[in-house]
């Protein structure tokens, strides 16, 4: 039995309704590709064209809409080939030297007439020098430009499923004029900023006029509204009602009359006068008036600008005390109003002019802090009426970095001692101290400051110059110290034979008896005193290799009784055991020294994000491979937004652990991290940037978890989406259950469930089961939504109950050919069995279609016929329980014509008709009849009666001498019968004798004395130009007309032409001169009287102007 075909579902949003999806690809690009920065990568797609009528078209897209065909060049290369044997097109896209910006989601789309196919794939870019690391966001890049967004395509974070967006609530339109009229003056500035008002002062002036009470008007029934508000580019209609529907009105804008045009449309409809302004702009923001004579009504039109959006977001800053800070943003429109705020306090020019400066340059807006202080640290905000951005300012104490420390010196008498240090600020001054006493310059002692270098030079060193020297920078709690050792030359009278002896100085750089520590990059000068007679031979060696060079970076300098070992710019390779051996004929002496090179450590390794939260992230790293020869004291961390170049310090004190939780981050924004290692020597180079990560929080728990249905082995659950979803979106749900008393939860679904309802199957009968639902997104699982009490798995028996719709409780009537589709809902547990009966017998499946579900039964008749009429009964059974519902269906059609229509009587101008009801009433009661008549001469039919309920009628007002025929239609709920029934006989209206009596004619007296109905009007004319004066007169008999000038009758003068046309009198004066000026009079005379009118005619001479 064929089932009713349901209506086709409408296509989903975004789908092409005229192009069907089909599998055209025989080979698609790989879904996930990891490319190394700087390398080339090629993607291949193949299309089978054997079934296509024309050549297919291929598009390569990035993101949703970016067509890469327009970007073809050195970086992006496209290739197309065709194999005639296999009829396969091969398309290739090659990316030359992949960069980080190439990462993201791509799509290749092929179309051919009415067929199309597409394939999506992802590209992840990894640095060439960094091993691939598991990162939750490595495959997602954004196509939008912008500092805070980076280039992450956040749409790739979610599953590629199409989800319907929740309809946004439309906010009601707000009338700004009403807000200003009802607001306190202190709130005017706030309202102006919120709704984009640029001319607040002008609006307040106009508002003051609007508040003035208008006087009652006699010309207007309804005045214009006090104000109108419209968005820029939209249409606005102003209307008022006038008292006189024929009066003409004028429309004024700021006092100037408005002329009709395509922009300004003026209409008059009865008493209503309308002014329509199309495509309004800021110039239409004005005062408007409608003027009727001396009366007028006015209104104000306010044109609102579109919201101002922020196109370039604010950067974070990290500065030291005293530095200049510039927060810069860009907005969508020039001249926009931007509000700046620090934390929760607004920054204004009047109050904060001493600390802050504001700068506008087109669309760029800048907040400048001349000299930052510690109190300026915090979050800064920029607001427009359509956007918001924020940036964090971190200010730290100004620190002075020591680039080169003072080295200890050992000098002999009369030699020169030079102490030198280098600091990071070339403007810093300082003082030198010896044993706590300030050193003053003299002829022998000189101090200098050149750039970042500070020197103390002591000439002709004396024994009293030995001691501790200290350099103290001004304004900093810092001091640099070194020791000056005086090498005293002692002359001992010894025998000529003296074995060699090495005298090592254990002070200075010696940290133990035989160990010397040198900072990498510094200079080591080791002066070793040698004694012995005769003068011994000195040999320096590193390991087994002798150091014999006297020039270069590593060298040996020999003096009398002194051997100097020098290393310029110490390197790590210089570390090791050094041996000095002195020999003479008397003997030999040897000493071993260990030179240790210490340096800043290597950068930390493998910086990565292991977890994220709503505004935080957990960062871990590995210690550096080389600690620089000194223990690692800790680490310093920095972060920045993806795409930005500004790094923000996260800690000012050394952090000892290798796991750090970064806080105060913005959810949904990409960040990068880097780490510095710190030892006693200094700060390492920064580590490689971590892979971009994004703070994302799990959703809140699902809401309103309820049990919808329970059977012996299943439980149906329903719930609503979480109230808070966040930037991570929502991937799906996990449904879990456990028996009462157990703690182990079992997942009911293996894959994430996207709908908000689920049927848990395979449950044990009679057990009490706890259920919970967890929302999942890229950040993890949400808190669970749990039922308040366990559910007993047992099906509840429910009596069958038919819920018959209200419209089916009475007789159900349909016309022949109509479709009958009855849906009868019911309830009952377990699922009931539904059966249909017609007139007590099972329905014929060939005539009626029946479809039953667990909750309803559908009776469907594709095309109703009269035999479908009858009493239908739905029987619902569950075991020995049942419920019944009866539906009476009647299928009707138009009735047949009446029977035996005849004229039964004719008298005067009337005829009586009678007939009998039709044999076929169309399965519906006959509700009336329509009677028509026709003159046998014209054969034109006219309706006499409609909806006549009786089977007889009387037709009146027939015309004498004519013969009439009649016809009758029967009528029911479907309408009139298809054919009428003609009367068997006709009605003839006989003629009778008539006598015409004419009334006596009474002539009306039309006589009346002359009377002027239109007077003469004074005229002023130019000499030489013909003119005419006119008036009109009434009178009978026809009056005689006399024209006079200055009471003198005008005769047959050819200069004057007198005309009389149906009482309209005209005097034409041909080319009048000044002599023709004067008083003109027109007199009308007849037997009943006379009348006259007069006017004054002025003739002026035209003044000719000379050409200058």
pLDDT tens by residue, 529-565: 888 888 888 888 888 888 888 888 888 888 777 888 8
Distance CA 894, CA 815 (A): 9
Comparing 139-148, 364-373, 610-619, 960-969, the range with the smallest average pLDDT is: 139-148
- Matching residue, tokens 């980076």: 150
Is a pLDDT exceeding 70 seen at residue 492? no
Residue range 234-274, pLDDT digits in tens: 889 999 998 888 888 999 998 888 998 888 999 988 889 99
**DSSP symbol at 424:** S
Parallel, antiparallel, or unpaired for β 25-27 and 671-679?
Answer: unpaired
**pLDDT range class, residue 111, cuts 50, 70, 90:** confident
Q: Give the model's pLDDT for residue 1014.
A: 93
CB 408 within 8 A of CB 481: no
Distance CA 230, CA 384 (A): 20
Residue range 810-823, pLDDT digits in tens: 888 899 989 999 99
Is a pLDDT exceeding 50 seen at residue 16? no
Distance CA 676, CA 685 (A): 6
Comparing 100-114, 334-348, 506-520, the range with the smallest average pLDDT is: 506-520
Distance CA 253, CA 768 (A): 79
CB 519 within 8 A of CB 595: no
Q: Where are the alpha helices (DSSP H) in 250-385?
A: 349-352
Is a pLDDT exceeding 90 seen at residue 1068? yes
- Matching residue, tokens 């530095």: 323
CB 193 within 8 A of CB 385: yes
**DSSP symbol at 614:** S
**pLDDT range class, residue 314, cuts 50, 70, 90:** confident
Distance CA 618, CA 605 (A): 16
* Cβ atoms < 10 Å from Cβ of 637: 22
**DSSP symbol at 207:** H
| Residues whose CB is less than 8 angstroms from the CB of residue 574 and which lie 6 or more positions away in sequence, other chains included | 518, 554, 567, 595, 597
Mean pLDDT, rounded, for 68-91: 84
Both tokens of residue 581? 């051996």
Distance CA 277, CA 283 (A): 12
Q: Give the model's pLDDT for residue 351.
A: 67
Is a pLDDT exceeding 80 seen at residue 85? yes
| Residues whose CB is less than 8 angstroms from the CB of residue 1092 and which lie 6 or more positions away in sequence, other chains included | 1012, 1081, 1082, 1083, 1084
Q: Give the model's pLDDT for residue 184.
A: 66
Q: Give the model's pLDDT for residue 825.
A: 93
What is the phi/psi pair of residue 100, to 5°?
Answer: -60, -30
**pLDDT range class, residue 1107, cuts 50, 70, 90:** very low
Mean pLDDT, rounded, for 579-592: 85
Q: Which residues pair with 982 in a beta bridge?
A: 967
Residue range 855-888, pLDDT digits in tens: 899 999 999 998 899 999 999 988 778 889 999 9
Distance CA 165, CA 701 (A): 20
| Residues whose CB is less than 8 angstroms from the CB of residue 81 and which lie 6 or more positions away in sequence, other chains included | 89, 90
Both tokens of residue 240? 């008022």
Is a pLDDT exceeding 70 seen at residue 697? yes
What is the phi/psi pair of residue 248, to 5°?
Answer: -95, 140
Q: Which residues pair with 636 in a beta bridge?
A: 676
Is a pLDDT exceeding 50 seen at residue 781? yes
CB 508 within 8 A of CB 482: no
What totals of helices (H) and strands (E) does the chain contain, helices first? 4, 88
* DSSP for 6-57, written as a single string: PPPPPPPTT--TTSEE---EEE---SEEEEETTS-EEEEEEEE-TT-SS--E
Sign of CA dihedral 138, 142, 143, 149: negative
Q: Give the model's pLDDT for residue 160.
A: 37
Q: Give the model's pLDDT for residue 686.
A: 93
pTM over 0.85: no
Nearest to 1012 by CA among 1087, 1083, 1088: 1083
Mean pLDDT, rounded, for 476-480: 79
Distance CA 564, CA 584 (A): 19
Residue range 1074-1093, pLDDT digits in tens: 999 999 999 999 999 999 99
| Residues whose CB is less than 8 angstroms from the CB of residue 205 and which lie 6 or more positions away in sequence, other chains included | none
Is a pLDDT exceeding 80 seen at residue 397? no
Is a pLDDT exceeding 90 seen at residue 675? yes
CA distances, 163 to each of 14, 168, 607, 729 (Å)? 12, 15, 36, 11
Greatest CA separation for the chain: 192
Q: Which residues pair with 446 in a beta bridge?
A: 457
Mean pLDDT, rounded, for 792-812: 84
Is a pLDDT exceeding 90 seen at residue 932? yes
**pLDDT range class, residue 186, cuts 50, 70, 90:** low
Q: Which residues pair with 609 in a beta bridge?
A: 619
Q: Where are the alpha helices (DSSP H) in 377-474?
A: none
Mean pLDDT, rounded, for 986-1011: 82
Q: Residue length, the chain?
A: 1108
Give the SS3 label for residue 732.
strand
Is a pLDDT exceeding 50 seen at residue 142? no
CA angle 172, 175, 180 (to 5 degrees): 135
Mean model confidence pLDDT for the chain: 83
Q: Give the model's pLDDT for residue 163.
A: 38
Nearest to 1037 by CA among 1007, 1011, 1005: 1007
Strand order in the sheet with 402-404: 402-404, 417-423, 453-458, 445-450
Is a pLDDT exceeding 50 seen at residue 300? yes
Q: Give the model's pLDDT for residue 713.
A: 86
């Amino acid at each position: 039995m064929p089932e009713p075909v349901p209506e086709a579902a409408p296509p989903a949003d975004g789908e092409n309704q005229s192009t069907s999806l089909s599998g055209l690809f025989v080979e698609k690009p790989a879904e996930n590709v990891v490319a190394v920065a700087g390398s080339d990568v090629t993607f291949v797609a193949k299309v089978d064209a054997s079934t296509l009528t024309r050549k297919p078209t291929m598009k390569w897209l990035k993101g949703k809409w970016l067509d890469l065909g327009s970007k073809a060049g050195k970086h992006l290369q496209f290739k197309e080939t065709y194999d005639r044997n296999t009829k396969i097109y091969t398309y290739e896209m090659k990316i030359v030297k992949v960069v980080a910006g190439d990462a993201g989601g791509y799509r290749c789309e092929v179309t051919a007439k009415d067929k199309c196919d597409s394939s999506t794939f992802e590209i992840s870019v990894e640095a060439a020098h960094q091993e691939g690391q598991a990162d939750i966001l490595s495959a997602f890049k954004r196509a939008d430009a912008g500092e805070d967004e980076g280039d992450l395509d956040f749409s790739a974070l979610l599953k590629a499923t199409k989800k319907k967006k929740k309809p946004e609530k439309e906010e009601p339109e707000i009338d700004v004029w009403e807000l200003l009229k009802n607001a306190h003056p202190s709130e005017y500035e706030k309202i102006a900023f919120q709704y984009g008002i640029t001319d607040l002062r002008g609006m307040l002036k106009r508002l003051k006029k609007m508040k003035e009470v208008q006087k009652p008007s006699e010309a207007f029934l309804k005045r214009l509204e006090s104000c109108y508000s419209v968005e820029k580019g939209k249409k606005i209609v102003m209307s008022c009602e006038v008292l006189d529907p024929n009066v003409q009105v004028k429309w004024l804008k700021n006092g100037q009359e408005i002329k009709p045009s395509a922009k300004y449309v003026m209409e008059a409809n009865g008493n209503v006068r309308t002014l329509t302004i199309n495509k309004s702009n800021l110039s239409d923001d004005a005062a408007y008036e409608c003027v009727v004579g001396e009366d007028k009504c006015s209104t104000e039109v306010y044109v609102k600008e579109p919201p101002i959006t922020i196109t370039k977001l604010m950067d974070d800053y990290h500065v030291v005390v005293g530095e200049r800070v510039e927060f810069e943003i860009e907005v969508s429109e020039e001249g926009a109003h931007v509000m700046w705020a620090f934390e929760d306090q607004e920054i204004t020019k009047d109050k904060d002019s001493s600390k802050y400066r504001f700068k506008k340059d087109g669309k760029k807006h800048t907040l400048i802090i001349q000299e930052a202080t510690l109190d300026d640290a915090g979050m800064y905000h920029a607001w427009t009426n359509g956007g918001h951005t924020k940036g964090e300012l971190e200010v730290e104490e100004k620190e002075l970095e020591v680039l080169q420390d003072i080295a200890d010196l050992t000098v002999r008498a009369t030699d020169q001692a030079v102490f030198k240090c280098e600091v990071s600020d070339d403007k810093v001054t300082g003082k030198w101290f010896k044993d706590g006493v300030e050193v003053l310059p003299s002829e022998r002692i000189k101090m200098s400051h050149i750039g970042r270098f500070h020197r103390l030079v002591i000439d002709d060193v004396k024994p009293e110059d030995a001691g501790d020297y200290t350099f103290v920078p001004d304004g900093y709690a810092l001091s640099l110290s070194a020791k000056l050792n005086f090498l005293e030359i002692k002359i001992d009278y010894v025998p000529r034979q003296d074995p060699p002896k090495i005298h090592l100085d254990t002070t200075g750089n010696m940290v133990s008896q035989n160990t010397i520590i040198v900072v990498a990059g510094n200079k080591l000068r080791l002066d070793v005193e040698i004694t012995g007679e005769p003068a011994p031979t000195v040999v320096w060696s590193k390991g087994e290799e002798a150091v014999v060079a006297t020039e270069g970076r590593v060298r040996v300098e020999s003096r009398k009784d002194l051997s100097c070992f020098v290393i310029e710019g110490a390197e790590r390779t210089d570390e090791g055991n050094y041996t000095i051996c002195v020999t003479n004929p008397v003997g030999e002496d040897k000493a071993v020294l260990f030179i240790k090179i210490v340096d800043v450590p290597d950068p930390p390794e493998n910086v990565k994000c292991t977890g994220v939260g709503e505004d935080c992230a957990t960062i871990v790293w590995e210690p550096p491979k080389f600690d620089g020869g000194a223990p690692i004291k800790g680490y310093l961390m920095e972060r920045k937004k993806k795409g930005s170049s500004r790094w923000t310090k996260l800690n000012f004190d050394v952090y000892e652990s290798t796991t750090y939780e970064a806080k105060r981050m913005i959810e949904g924004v990409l960040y990068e991290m880097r780490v510095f290692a710190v030892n006693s020597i200094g700060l390492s180079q920064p580590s490689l940037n971590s892979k971009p990560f994004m703070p994302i929080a799990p959703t809140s728990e699902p809401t309103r978890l309820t049990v919808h249905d329970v059977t012996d082995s299943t439980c149906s659950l329903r719930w609503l989406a979480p109230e808070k979803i966040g930037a991570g979106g929502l991937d799906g749900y996990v449904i879990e259950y456990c028996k009462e008393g157990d703690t182990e939860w079992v997942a009911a679904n293996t894959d994430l469930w996207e709908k908000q309802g689920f049927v848990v199957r395979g449950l044990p009968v009679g057990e009490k089961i706890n259920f919970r639902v967890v929302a999942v997104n890229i950040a993890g699982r949400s808190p669970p939504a749990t039922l308040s009490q366990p559910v007993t798995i047992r099906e509840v028996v429910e009596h069958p109950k038919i819920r018959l719709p209200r419209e089916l409780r009475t007789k159900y009537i349909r016309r022949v050919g109509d479709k009958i589709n009855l849906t009868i809902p019911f309830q009952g547990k377990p699922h009931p069995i539904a059966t249909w009966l017609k007139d007590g017998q099972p329905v014929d499946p060939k005539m009626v279609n029946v479809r039953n579900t667990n909750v309803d039964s559908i009776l469907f008749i594709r095309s109703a016929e009269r035999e479908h009429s009858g009493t239908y009964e739905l029987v619902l059974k569950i075991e020995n329980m049942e419920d019944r519902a009866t539906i009476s269906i009647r299928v009707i059609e138009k009735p047949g014509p009446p029977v035996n229509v005849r004229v039964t009587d004719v008298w005067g101008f009337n005829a009586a008709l009678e007939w009998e009801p039709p044999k076929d009433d169309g399965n519906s009661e006959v509700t009336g009849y329509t009677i028509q008549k026709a003159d046998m001469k014209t054969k034109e039919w006219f309706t006499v009666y409609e909806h006549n309920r009786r089977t007889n009628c009387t037709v009146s007002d027939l015309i004498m001498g004519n013969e009439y025929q009649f016809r009758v239609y029967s009528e029911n709920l479907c309408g009139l019968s298809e054919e009428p029934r003609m009367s068997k006989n006709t009605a003839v209206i006989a003629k009778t004798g008539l006598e015409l009596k004419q009334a006596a004619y009474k002539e009306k007296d039309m006589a009346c004395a002359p009377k002027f109905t239109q007077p003469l009007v004074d005229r002023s004319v130019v000499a030489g130009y013909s003119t005419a004066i006119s008036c009109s007169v009434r009178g009978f008999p026809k009056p005689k007309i006399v024209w006079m000038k200055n009471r003198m009758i005008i005769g047959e003068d050819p200069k004057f032409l007198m005309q009389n046309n149906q009482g309209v009198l005209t005097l034409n004066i041909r080319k009048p001169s000044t002599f023709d000026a004067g008083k003109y009079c027109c007199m009308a005379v007849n037997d009943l009287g006379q009348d006259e009118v007069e006017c004054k005619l002025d003739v002026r001479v035209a003044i000719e102007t000379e050409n200058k």
